[in-house]
């Protein structure tokens, strides 16, 4: 059975979309895959309760309890490796991971970024797209590499930037597409 571990930091709306797709499409039967754990770096992440309500094991590795980033990375890696993952899926996981950590999961770690990469890596993507006068924005599923938001692009979705858009309205429109392309990209890899 292919194991999928999802990392979150908050409500995990992308995690929820992935879990819903996995159940609705019966990934266990069709792709011999299941989501074995959801891990958060924040104890108050509301997505943990939702994952538990779906019968998925959860765990917290609180980054604030570590004085060294390397210690956090190692503890998180041990928590993930306990599930022998085929894929590690970052779904709103708001921590930059060290090069050694990323190398350990080379080719097996995915992220979703709220821009049409390679444009607007990092934070505040929606406002930056509006400020730049972009007519289109979107989301990208990519493999994680040590260089932030520069891994192989696996899927993208495009939305128009509308007159009068602000950061919130554009973010909401992009998020609806994230919920579609992330499960689809994972499904394609599982095949």
140-167 residue pLDDT tens: 999 999 999 999 999 999 999 999 999 9
Average pLDDT over all residues of the chain? 97
Question: Band of the pLDDT at 177, cuts 50, 70, 90?
Answer: very high
Question: From CA 75, how far away is CA 69, in angstroms rounded?
Answer: 10
Q: How many CB atoms lie within 10 A of CB 7?
A: 26
Model pTM score: 0.97
Residue 183: pLDDT band by 50, 70, 90 thresholds? very high
| Degrees to nearest 5, angle at CA 72 with 89 and 7 | 15
Q: How confident is the model at residue 93 (pLDDT cuts 50, 70, 90)?
A: very high
Quote the percentage of the chain above a pLDDT of 90: 99
What is the pLDDT confidence band of residue 9, given thresholds at 50, 70 and 90?
very high
Q: What are the φ and ψ backbone dihedral angles of 8, each rounded to 5 degrees?
A: -135, 165
Confidence of residue 79 (pLDDT cuts 50, 70, 90): very high
Tell me the two tokens of residue 65: 């309890």
**Angstrom distance (rounded) from CA 94 to CA 41:** 8
Q: State the Cα–Cα distance between residues 111 and 38, nearest whole angstrom.
A: 15
User: Which domains are present in the chain?
Assistant: 2-190 (3.40.50.170)
Rounded to 10°, the helix 13-24/167-190 angle is 40
Residue 113 annotated as catalytic:
yes
185 CB neighbour count, 10 Å cutoff: 21
* Mean pLDDT (whole number) for 77-99: 97
What pLDDT, in 10s, does the model give residues 18-42? 999 999 999 999 999 999 999 999 9
Averaged over 106-114, what is the pLDDT?
Answer: 98
Choose the catalytic residue: 63, 113, 142, 179.
Answer: 113
Q: What percent of the chain stands above pLDDT 70?
A: 100
Mean pLDDT to the nearest integer, 50-75: 97
Q: Tell me, what's the pLDDT at 120?
A: 98
What pLDDT does 109 receive? Answer: 98
Distance separating alpha carbons of residues 156 and 153, to the nearest angstrom: 8
């Amino acid at each position: 059975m292919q194991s999928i571990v999802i990392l979150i930091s908050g409500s995990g709306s992308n995690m929820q979309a992935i879990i819903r797709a996995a159940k609705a499409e019966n990934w266990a039967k069709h792709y011999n895959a299941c989501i074995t754990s959801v891990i958060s770096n924040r104890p108050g992440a509301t997505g943990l309760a939702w994952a538990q309500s779906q019968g998925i094991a959860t765990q917290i590795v609180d980054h604030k309890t570590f004085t060294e980033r390397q210690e956090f990375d190692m503890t998180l890696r041990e928590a993930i490796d306990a599930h022998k993952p085929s894929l590690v899926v970052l779904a709103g996981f708001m921590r930059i991971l060290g090069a050694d950590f990323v190398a350990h999961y080379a080719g097996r770690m995915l992220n979703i970024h709220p821009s049409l990469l390679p444009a607007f890596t990092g934070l505040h993507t929606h406002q930056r797209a509006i400020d730049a006068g972009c007519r289109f924005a979107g989301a990208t599923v990519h493999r994680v590499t040590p260089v932030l938001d520069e891994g192989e692009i696996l899927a993208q979705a495009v939305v128009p930037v509308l007159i009068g858009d602000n950061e919130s309205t554009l973010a909401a429109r992009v998020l609806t597409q994230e919920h579609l392309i992330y499960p689809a990209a994972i499904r394609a890899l599982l095949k």
